[in-house]
Amino acid sequence: MNLESELERLKKELERARFELSVFYEITQAMRSTLRLEEILYVILTGITAHQGLGFNRALLFLVDFENKLIKGKMGIGPVSREEADKIWKWIREEKKELMDLLKEYHRIKERKPELFRMVEELAFPLEGSDTVLQQVFSEGLPIFIKSHQAAGLKNDVLVKKFDLEEFVIVPLWAQDKIIGAILVDNFVTKRPITPSDIKILNMFSSQAALAIENSKLYEDTLWRSHVDSLTGLWNHGYFQFKLKEEFDKNLQRDTPLSLLMIDIDNFKDYNDKFGHMEGDKVLVRVAEIIREESRKTDYPCRYGGEEFSVILSGISKKDATSIAERIRQRIEKEEFLRRITVSIGVVSFPQDASDRQTLIRMADNYLYQAKAAGKDRVSTGK
């Protein structure tokens, strides 16, 4: 190799190193812009797949659920076909989207959840096991680089089969001496070979990503604890006010209904006086469990205060909300306590009963007390 070609090679390496450091800095700065876990994951995967980032075609992220000893698919970014890739790249090119522009697309992406995103979310593997390449990464704690000829021998591997993997890399996410997750990347469309330099920068990036994820988890755990009632595990009054405003504004913008249940345990003071506060707490906990069980996954059951509960039901009519309220009432009435326990429930809906959030709460209270005045153990809709 002559001096001129050697200088050219070194120049290219230097340019590559500068580019990698610039990308690394930009993505790590973006990760510091939020503490919310889903947003952090989106920043990480966008940084890995964006042309101005690490430039991989696809990236899949998995996190460990230590309580249930599972490896869960959390998010995936990238195309599932050449046609989809062409559409994405055409859009980026025509809209002149830079890395920071792509990061701002998170909430739009979250709403429509592309196919790869949904495919990854469906996955879960036992943490203890080595049947898949992914589990092998967790058991060995080291990155795995699978070349095309090796992938041909892994046709029964769930990930290889599901995502039609050929050449790919999986890197573990280490935080505080434990693996909290893993990232899988490939060049599904372009077939661009993965180089040692690609793997090196991906490994460097994964260390920062793991730290950002761990910090986000700590933040969200703290945030969750501050919003949850310590006795019942339902959302507390502060979170009720916050979420009702958020859901009200959303449904107002979409011109969709929003319903609210206000629930009160009948004669609860008498129960406490007769059986004591410990038994009273057991009632509160069980009533909260029933309310949660009878609510939809998209609802927000809350402990409003004392023996009063509420449920925010977004996008649901008053008729359907009343059906849920009636199921709650009937289940509590049939539950075995030291003495029969019943509840009174007020049901209101926007825009049917109120045009603003505060009026909605006030009307829910009014209907609740109508149920009380009418003999308790009933659902009132104001009729």
Residue 152 has what pLDDT?
A: 87
Residue 279 has what pLDDT?
A: 95
Kindly state the tokens that stand for 15.
Answer: 């340019």
Q: How far lies 80's CA from each of 117, 159, 165, in Å?
A: 10, 13, 11
User: CATH 3.30.70.270 spans which residues of the chain?
Assistant: 237-380
Residue 113 has what pLDDT?
A: 73
Contact (Cβ atoms closer than 8 angstroms) between residue 318 and residue 348: yes
Residue 232 has what pLDDT?
A: 94
User: CATH 3.30.450.40 spans which residues of the chain?
Assistant: 3-226
Q: For residues 92, 97, 103 and 106, what is the CA-based torsion angle, rounded to 10 degrees? A: -50
CATH superfamily of 3-226: GAF domain (3.30.450.40)
Residue 185 has what pLDDT?
A: 95
**Angle subtended by helix axes 237-254 and 357-373, to nearest 10:** 120
Which CATH architecture group holds 237-380?
Answer: 2-Layer Sandwich (3.30)
Centre a 10 Å sphere on the Cβ of residue 11 and count the other Cβ atoms it contains. Answer: 10
Single out the catalytic residue among 6, 247, 307, 335. 307
Residue 32 has what pLDDT?
A: 59
Contact (Cβ atoms closer than 8 angstroms) between residue 275 and residue 339: yes
Residue 103 has what pLDDT?
A: 55
The one-letter amino acid at 144: I
Kindly state the tokens that stand for 139.
Answer: 């058991």
Q: What does the alpha-carbon distance between residue 145 and residue 47 come to, in Å, rounded to a whole number? A: 20
Residue 50 has what pLDDT?
A: 75
Pairing of strands 144-146, 124-126: unpaired
Walking along the chain (383 residues) 10 residues at a time, the average pLDDT comes out as 69 63 60 69 81 82 93 90 66 55 57 81 88 91 93 90 94 92 94 90 86 82 86 94 92 91 96 95 96 92 96 94 96 94 96 92 95 95 82
Secondary structure letter of residue 173 according to DSSP: E
Residue 221 has what pLDDT?
A: 80
Residue 206 has what pLDDT?
A: 87
| Residue 307 annotated as catalytic | yes
